[in-house]
Amino acid sequence: MSSKQQQSKRDTCTSVDDTTSDDATNKNKNKNKKARIAIKDNKNEIITDCNKRSECNNNNNMNRNNNNNNSKIWLNNKLVDRPNYPTSYGILLYRGKKIEEEEVIVENNNNNNNSATCSSSSSSSSNTQRSSSGKEFEYLFGLIPQGNSWTVFKGLPEGNNERPEETAIREFEEESSLTFPYNNNKRGDEDEDEDEEDYDYNWDKKYEILYGVTSTKKLLQIYLIPAPLDIDISKFNISNVVKIDKGYMVGKPEIIQINFLTKNQAIEGTTVPYGKNSKVAKIYKSQISILERAETILNTQNMK
């Protein structure tokens, strides 16, 4: 392919700018950053579909942001055609915790209809049983600076060459201030040869994908990933969180607190300190279907 043809092909790939407030604004970031991830299978072998970054770019740029728009996705409890909306990519870490066995008092009522009066002919007894309720799942969310909403860590791709997995990891690290807890190896530097063999990404097969749609017609594609046992959210450092760069909240960190919440806590709301007062924070409505789908998937897996 000639250089003019290659340039023409690249020119057909465009990025989508974030013009809505749901992702809390555009960020001041390094546009030339080349994050790379080593995704390995169970045999510890690197999985590759294309050997060179240039090949991957030419094959994938056109569909990267919309990611196979003709495919079916599970959205709002229905299997539907993927909408042709700008797509934000993100990560939802989860962990399971055992629910302690609870003592349940069971009332047994024995009615004797031979007597003329109900009160004198009825007897009751009770016994105590133990209920084993298995696992409950918690999910890692961030609290927006207004203090009234929890959100998944997510955002739009930067430029034409950022893969969905790269976007998800970058947004997770920028908004949570934590390092993505799995293999995120980078090779070489920014000046390396573009034809050098590159790592590939296999998250579509490795992790469950959850979907939601915002009120501003933005598709959310969220990777459901188990949190490592040693994850320490006390390392959250608000000074390392990316800042909002426009609007009335300009200069504020996009996230002011992170926490693991159950589905009920996230949907019904939790009381959080806010200045000298407190607020009730709930998950965004557009993310409720994401959380419900996660619960369905994890509970199904837990029953196997």
DSSP secondary structure string, 75-121?
A: ETTEEEEPP---EEEEEEEEEEEEPPPEEEEEEEEEE-TTSS-HHHH
Phi first, then psi: give them for residue 78, nearest 5 degrees.
-135, 150
Residue 262, Ramachandran bin (φ over 0: left; ψ between -120 and 50: alpha; else beta)? beta
DSSP class of 255: -
Asked if 67 and 85 touch (Cβ cutoff 8 Å), the reply is no
Strands 257-262 and 208-213: unpaired
Q: At what angle do helices 53-60 and 3-11 cross, to 10 degrees?
A: 50
Identify the DSSP state of 161. S
Question: Residue 252, SS3?
Answer: coil
Distance CA 147, CA 255 (A): 9
The span from the CA of 86 to the CA of 218, in Å, is 5
- Each residue's pLDDT, cut to its tens digit, for the chain (304 residues) gives 554 454 444 444 433 344 344 444 444 444 444 434 343 333 333 333 344 433 334 344 334 444 444 589 999 889 999 999 999 999 999 999 866 655 545 455 554 444 444 444 444 455 555 544 568 999 999 999 999 999 999 999 998 889 999 999 999 999 999 999 887 554 444 444 444 334 445 687 789 999 999 999 999 999 999 999 999 999 999 999 999 989 999 999 999 999 999 999 999 999 999 989 999 999 999 999 999 999 999 999 877 6
- Give the CATH fold of the 38-96+135-303 domain: Nucleoside Triphosphate Pyrophosphohydrolase (3.90.79)
The full set of domain ranges for the chain reads: 38-96+135-303, 102-131
DSSP state at residue 138:
E
Q: Which has the closest alpha carbon to 104: 126, 124, 125, 135? A: 126
